[in-house]
Amino acid sequence: MPSREAFIEIGRLVCINYGKDSGKLGVILDICDTMTALVDGPNLKRGIYNFRRMAVTGIKLPISKSVKSTTLYKAWEAADLDGQFGKTSWGQKLARQERRKNLTDFERFKVKVLKAKKNKIIKSKLKELKN
Amino acid sequence: MPKQQRAPKWYPTEGPATGLTKTIEKKPQGVAKLRKSITPGTVLILLAGRFKGKRVVFLKQLESGLLLVTGPFKINGVPLRRVNQAYVIATSTKVDIAGIDTTGISDKPDEKTKRHFFSRVVAEQKEEGEGEFVSTEAKKSGLTEERKAMQVKVDESVIAAVEKTPMMKDYLKSRFSLEKGQFPHLMKF
């Protein structure tokens, strides 16, 4: 049983996790058949996506079946879905991955040095506690 | 064929001038276009040669099209050096070298002496060495006093700018390398 109530239904926020749209959010507008649904989102092209290519979130929009894109985006903004999703640990994880992917060379260097410093402090404290 | 109009045995290699051929004058090639990402003060990663992997500061593009870079010398051992754009990765990190004077450094051979700032200096061989005794004090070829002085002068301002940003000096000291799971075509510089 899923730990949260997250069903494939109209208005359900999903995250595409395969293909060139990977990482993008969309809302299910209609169910086409047993494997596909009509999905649309501000960064996503309105179209038919396979359930296998999406991961269901716990967030839902109260919209009716097959609304127009403009109506959807208005409801999206009103509910602040990007913000809601960003607050979840999943959303934060995606944001962290995105940040790490876009580090510049200098930032990567700083991360490496600071991480080593942090680990050194932790190791020395651990040694202290063990003794 | 009638006897008077027999086909000639030999033909000239080129046909008669028809006046239809065009002689296109070859345009001078011009200096290599500088990549948009490379501006004065950009930190570059050298990809080949003695200093491969080193991160250096870009100063200006010389007349020949090559890039003038400096370590700075005191930080990572790279002197005022010329580098080809093709063997360089431009990072998005910039050092503020607004006031630096690099006008004394040029690639263009002087008309009279045919030499420029980076021309090789040939060692003056000492006249000693009679017979089998070779002089062990042959003068080392390489740096002129002019170059050393220019290095110090330019590096002074670059180092001052580098020290303004925290960790920038250590960054320039370190060498670039790829670790496991890092792919250059997926990395942002």
Interface of B with A in 96-155 (CB under 8 A): none
ipTM score of complex? 0.74
Confidence grade of residue B133 (pLDDT, cut at 50, 70, 90): low
Q: Is the pLDDT score of B134 beyond 60? A: no
Task: Determine, for residues A104 and B188 on separate chains, whether the beta-carbon distance falls below 8 Å.
Answer: yes
Q: How far apart are CA A19 and CA A40, in angstroms?
A: 16
Interface of B with A in 43-62 (CB under 8 A): 43, 45, 55
Q: Is the pLDDT score of A2 beyond 90? A: no
Confidence grade of residue B130 (pLDDT, cut at 50, 70, 90): low
Per CB-CB distance under 8 Å, the chain A contacts of B187 are 105
Min Cα distance B92 → chain A (Å) is 7
Q: Which of A5-9, A27-31, A114-118, B76-80 has the lowest mean pLDDT?
A: A5-9
Min Cα distance A113 → chain B (Å) is 9
Q: Is the pLDDT score of B49 beyond 90? A: yes
Strand order in the sheet with A36-41: A44-50, A36-41, A25-31, A12-16, A54-60
Confidence grade of residue B140 (pLDDT, cut at 50, 70, 90): low
Q: Does B88 touch chain A (CB under 8 A)?
A: no
Q: Is the pLDDT score of B128 beyond 70? A: no
Q: Does B188 touch chain A (CB under 8 A)?
A: yes
Q: What is the pTM of this model?
A: 0.76
Q: How many CB atoms lie within 10 A of CB B69?
A: 25
Q: Is the pLDDT score of B106 beyond 90? A: no
pLDDT at B126: 55
Min Cα distance B39 → chain A (Å) is 17
Residue A49 token pair = 């996506």
pLDDT at B132: 52
Q: Look at the block and give the residue holding tokens 């991955």.
A: A97
- Chain A's closest residue to B168, CA to CA, is A106
Q: What percent of chain B has pLDDT over 70?
A: 88
> Which one, of B155, B44, B88, B39, lies nearest residue A106 by Cα?
B44
Confidence grade of residue B151 (pLDDT, cut at 50, 70, 90): very high
Q: Which of A98, A108, A113 to mutate to test the interface with B (most CBs of B within 10 A)?
A: A108
Mean pLDDT across the stretch B49-68?
94
- Chain B's closest residue to A112, CA to CA, is B171
pLDDT at B165: 92
- Chain B's closest residue to A105, CA to CA, is B189
Nearest to B171 among A102, A103, A106 (CB): A106
Per CB-CB distance under 8 Å, the chain B contacts of A104 are 91-93, 188-189
Q: How far apart are CA B76 and CA B44, in angstroms?
A: 13
pLDDT at A48: 95
* Residue count (chain A): 131
pLDDT at B146: 85
Confidence grade of residue B125 (pLDDT, cut at 50, 70, 90): low
Min Cα distance A120 → chain B (Å) is 18
